[in-house]
Amino acid sequence: MPFPETTKLWQEILATVVLSSLSSLAITVGRYIRLNSWDVFTRPNLVVQTFLDVFSWQHIIFILGFTALQGMCLFLLADDWVKGRK
């Protein structure tokens, strides 16, 4: 069985990657496709169709790039934050 610290670290990394990816997807939808949060309730068919259309190479590359950028920023800021706490 893996060490508890190692398991916790991988859970934190996985959660960070998943949340950064979802955040990047939401930024893409809000910024470039121009959907708003209330469209989920007022125009649900449009929202579903838009999410299906968003998976083009152009959007996927942006989402992956933005996820990587968020990950690097989080890694650098977390490293500084942890060093500052010691």
Q: Which two tokens stand for residue 68?
A: 């990587």
pLDDT for position 21: 92
pLDDT for position 59: 85
Containing domain of residue 62, as a range? Answer: 4-85
pLDDT for position 55: 78
Question: What does the chain come to in residues?
Answer: 86
The pLDDT tens digits along the chain (86 residues) read 556 677 887 888 898 899 999 999 888 888 888 888 899 899 999 988 888 887 788 888 989 999 999 988 888 887 766 666 55
Domain count, the chain: 1
